[in-house]
Structure 1
Amino acid sequence: MKILLKNARRLSSVYELEPCEILIEGNRIKQIKSAIRENADRNIDCNGNVVLPGFIDVHIHLREPGGEHKETIKTGTLAAAKGGFTTVCAMPNTNPVPDRKETLEKLVEKIKKEAKVRVLPYAAITKDLKGEELTNIDELVMAGAFAFTDDGVGIQTADFMLKAMKQAAASGKAIVAHCEDNSIVYGGVVHDGDVSNRLNLPGLPALSESVQIARDVLLAEAAGCHYHVCHVSSKESVRVIRDAKRAGIHVTAEVTPHHLLLNENNIKDQDSNYKMNPPLRAMEDQEALLEGLLDGTIDFIATDHAPHAEEEKSQGFLNAPFGIVGLETAFSLLYTYLVKTEKIKLHQLVDWLTKKPAEVFQLPYGKLDENTIADITIVNLEKELKINKETFQSKGKNTPFQDWIVSGIPVMTIVDGEIVFEGDMNG
């Protein structure tokens, strides 16, 4: 199968948009030129829209098995395709947990049958994510584990984390950490600051995140392990990661679109669509996250797409589960409120969604070059729309960005040379 993308634009080597055409043959990009005169099975007029490498999200929740009322592999990957994501990495907080060879192998088979984009599954660090017994990391690597995490809960003892890091290092895999010291969480549901006082809700201190990162970077240094920090949310965490990188420790980090675009001041009432963990923190934390992204302390962006059923999210801040959806809105929000406002450049945003996560986790994706895998996202930078959760492919409608006006809309997604999402090139 040959696909020819005509009348497109791409980012040049000097980060300007230039005309191009792309010939895809099988699952590879065969040619990228200003004009291609070759017969194809399908010619697609891109109408001047921008071709980008397919987006990569190393932190999403697909909920299946066990949470199919929230999301499934099929609906979650349809959402990814609509958002321009071609590779996603699924967290292991499912039921059953992928904490042994047989369970992970069954999940991998289910992914092959149901997924609309490429899904790389995590395996758990500890059995049942309970922090009481380590999994067999070597066995899980053989079964197809992308990396190891107990995302959703922090590893509470240094002993367990050090042992896991040593095993992961020996297997050439990363330890990916949700950092939270349970002894200083205090039942918090929002940031411990202005919002917790204003709404009279229990506050979750930023220190619960940063102290565990500080512990873990020293353990990672001792173990010789690649240690990756999930959803960084506070200025103290950024400082710790920056110092660790300067010391030569192999630590990497991600930040979410919602922590870049929102802070505690956006929470006006007890709308639990604003409830996530880590919580939206102070404005100074939000500013530190963007600064950390710009100076390389934080390596890239990941959505932490966390769908929940509407009846679960309608229970108010105290009782609703943590988490918001993000796959279908990430690029548009970031383009509209960071690139168009000139806080960042388009090429930086693209790198943080493609090249950087691929480099950190040594993935052969995130490129738009001849002879590379044909993972391509086409975006209409001019088109504007209002975010409407009722149009989401995801089962989860839990977003704080309802009715936000955005531009930079993905209109086609190609994975491994196959079109998996097709919108309106002209609209």
Structure 2
Amino acid sequence: MTPQQGSGTVLIIRGARLEGGDAADLRIEDGVIAEVGHGLSAPGASVADADGLIALPGLVDLHTHLREPGYEASETVLTGSRAAAAGGYAAVFAMPNTSPVADTAGVVEQELALGEAAGYVHVQPIGAVTVGQRGERLAELGAMADSRARVRVFSDDGFCVWDPLIMRRALEYVKAFDGVIAQHAQDPRLTEGAQLNEGAVSAELGLAGWPAVAEESIIARDVLLAEHVGSRLHVCHLSTAGSVDIVRWAKKRGVHVTAEVTPHHLLLTDELARGYDARFKVNPPLRREEDVQAVREGLADGTIDIVATDHAPHPAEAKACEWQAAANGMVGLESSLRVVHQAMVETGLLEWADVARVMSRTPARIGRLDGYGTPLEPGAPASLVLYDPSATGPFTAADLRGRSVNSPYLGRELPGSVRWTIHRGAVTVRDGELQELGA
């Protein structure tokens, strides 16, 4: 079922608090918000009681790994789309580290088509910066931009574009069509064999340290390149206090740089690695408490622009092994809004209108994705999430809707609950239950 199959149906959402503010009714018809007001009704309409629920524009994730084609044992576009809908998402940007790598127009168009067939969210492909993500020569950036997928975000995520000349050329190339290079900031020489954030915990556990400077040095280089070229740079999964300082400095200079932080870097620290539980192994690694506080403050003051999940599914055997052999990555689509609620809203650092900005509006703007992150007003596409902020409970495997279960939050108490998700008029989650589209 595609989202357009929501056309012709009428849904009244009654009494939702729009972005956490005043309560209002919404009438959804033919895939758009037809009316906002009080006491709304329509003949034959379905009614959703949203008393006490917060209505946010459908979430947009600028950093998701869907693994298809090539790694379907971990995730597929369909299963990842279902996970996204369960977390309140209406659109996700799919990273290119598939097999084959999404470095041609043909592969990104295949991913777009798989997302359309699934129907739960819009799947927007991200193109690789270099052929095969090997960092040696530029991929078909122009062809991917001109394809039906209209790629505007390019990344070798999982690998740093380490060669400064290739990074400069990529920034120059995408400037012509208002594209953006999303950099995985990790100096490969400084992180050879690295296993955990370099510090007291890594030393005590005997694990090779992953220094903060490996991230910070690449960000410093790239903001200067972006300033020189006059192009757009996006920093993926920023994780250190020093990185926040560099991005803040660059923005004051007028550099066209944006940055993201993951939910796990807003909440978790390297102390969790003491049990050698590989669910907590991730790239970049979990950092110190001081870094967690710094990235929270950076998100609150606008230095960091968005929250992005870096949803990274892996089969069980890739995590159920010794730490050094385990894969990096965590699943995060289903838990992200609840984690942001705990880390940023409950602490008073963000209001719900800010959550709408950092998890919907700004990601859509950075990715140049039209029709998403739009205000909840008449005429806008009906993509939204209804969230219960009063709920609380442990996060469990039953909350996961993807193919993999490598969540760092299993058994952890988290606030909130996604009650409804609507994608362009199609209800994908109803009363907390994922819907079978086309059933």
Q: Is residue 2:161 matched to residue 1:179? A: no
Cross-structure match for 1:275 = 281
With normalisation by structure 2, the TM-score equals 0.93
Post-superposition offset of 1:152: 0.5
Cross-structure match for 1:8 = 15
Cross-structure match for 2:35 = 31
Cross-structure match for 2:298 = 292
Q: 1:12-411 alignment to 2 at 5 Å?
A: 16=21, 18-143=22-147, 144=149, 145-363=151-369, 364-366=371-373, 367-411=375-419
- Tell me, yes or no, if the aligned pair for 1:238 and 1:289 is still in contact at 8 Å: yes
- Tell me, yes or no, if the aligned pair for 1:7 and 1:48 is still in contact at 8 Å: no
- Tell me, yes or no, if the aligned pair for 1:20 and 1:33 is still in contact at 8 Å: yes
Q: Which residue identity does 1:359 align to in structure 2?
A: R
Q: Which residue identity does 1:114 align to in structure 2?
A: A
SS at match of 2:176: helix
Give the Cα–Cα distance (whole angstroms) in 2 for the partners of residues 213 and 300 of structure 1.
Answer: 17
- Tell me, yes or no, if the aligned pair for 1:308 and 1:323 is still in contact at 8 Å: yes
Give the Cα–Cα distance (whole angstroms) in 2 for the partners of residues 64 and 21 of structure 1.
Answer: 39
Give the Cα–Cα distance (whole angstroms) in 2 for the partners of residues 351 and 106 of structure 1.
Answer: 30
Aligned pairs, number: 422
Post-superposition offset of 1:310: 0.8
Q: Greater CA deviation, 105-114 or 39-48?
A: 39-48
Post-superposition offset of 1:116: 1.7
Cross-structure match for 2:424 = 416
Give the Cα–Cα distance (whole angstroms) in 2 for the partners of residues 40 and 167 of structure 1.
Answer: 52
- Tell me, yes or no, if the aligned pair for 2:18 and 2:24 is still in contact at 8 Å: no
Q: Deviations over 1:175-225 (max 9, x none)?
A: 111111111113101101112112110111111111011111111112221
Q: Deviations over 1:322-380 (max 9, x none)?
A: 00010001111221343223343232223211122223333332121211111010111
Q: Greater CA deviation, 354-363 or 159-168?
A: 354-363
Query: Taking structure 1 as reference, are residues 105 and 37 closer, same or farther at Cα in structure 2, changes over 3 Å only?
Result: closer
Cross-structure match for 2:4 = none
Q: Which residue identity does 1:8 align to in structure 2?
A: G
Q: Deviations over 1:80-118 (max 9, x none)?
A: 000001111000000001111222222222222234211
Post-superposition offset of 1:37: 3.1
Give the Cα–Cα distance (whole angstroms) in 2 for the partners of residues 240 and 98 of structure 1.
Answer: 30
Post-superposition offset of 1:269: 1.5
Q: Which residue identity does 1:168 align to in structure 2?
A: V
Post-superposition offset of 1:405: 1.5
SS at match of 1:370: coil
SS at match of 2:159: coil
Q: Greater CA deviation, 390-399 or 88-97?
A: 390-399
Post-superposition offset of 1:424: 4.2
SS at match of 1:267: helix
Give the Cα–Cα distance (whole angstroms) in 1 for the partners of residues 344 and 171 of structure 2.
Answer: 36
Q: Which runs of 5+ in 2 are unaligned?
A: 1-7, 434-439
Q: Deviations over 1:6-63 (max 9, x none)?
A: 4322237xx63x2211111112111111221332442222344222111111101000
Q: Which residue identity does 2:238 align to in structure 1?
A: V
SS at match of 1:132: coil
- Tell me, yes or no, if the aligned pair for 1:194 and 1:264 is still in contact at 8 Å: no
Q: Which runs of 5+ in 1 are unaligned?
A: none
Q: Which residue identity does 1:401 align to in structure 2?
A: Y
Aligned-CA RMSD value? 1.6
Query: Taking structure 1 as reference, are residues 113 and 284 closer, same or farther at Cα in structure 2, changes over 3 Å only?
Result: same
Give the Cα–Cα distance (whole angstroms) in 1 for the partners of residues 399 and 272 of structure 2.
Answer: 24
Give the Cα–Cα distance (whole angstroms) in 1 for the partners of residues 267 and 154 of structure 2.
Answer: 28
Q: Greater CA deviation, 381-390 or 412-421?
A: 381-390
Give the Cα–Cα distance (whole angstroms) in 2 for the partners of residues 356 and 156 of structure 1.
Answer: 27
Q: Deviations over 1:56-79 (max 9, x none)?
A: 111010000111000010110100
Post-superposition offset of 1:413: 0.6
Aligned-residue sequence identity (percent) comes to: 35
SS at match of 2:61: strand
SS at match of 1:292: helix
- Tell me, yes or no, if the aligned pair for 1:8 and 1:50 is still in contact at 8 Å: no
Query: Taking structure 1 as reference, are residues 341 and 241 closer, same or farther at Cα in structure 2, changes over 3 Å only?
Result: closer
- Tell me, yes or no, if the aligned pair for 1:390 and 1:397 is still in contact at 8 Å: no
Give the Cα–Cα distance (whole angstroms) in 2 for the partners of residues 298 and 45 of structure 1.
Answer: 35
- Tell me, yes or no, if the aligned pair for 2:34 and 2:379 is still in contact at 8 Å: yes
Give the Cα–Cα distance (whole angstroms) in 2 for the partners of residues 11 and 110 of structure 1.
Answer: 32
- Tell me, yes or no, if the aligned pair for 2:226 and 2:233 is still in contact at 8 Å: yes
Give the Cα–Cα distance (whole angstroms) in 2 for the partners of residues 392 and 37 of structure 1.
Answer: 35
Query: Taking structure 1 as reference, are residues 309 and 390 closer, same or farther at Cα in structure 2, changes over 3 Å only?
Result: farther
Q: Greater CA deviation, 111-120 or 370-379?
A: 111-120
Give the Cα–Cα distance (whole angstroms) in 2 for the partners of residues 129 and 151 of structure 1.
Answer: 8
Cross-structure match for 2:5 = none
Query: Taking structure 1 as reference, are residues 280 and 337 closer, same or farther at Cα in structure 2, changes over 3 Å only?
Result: same
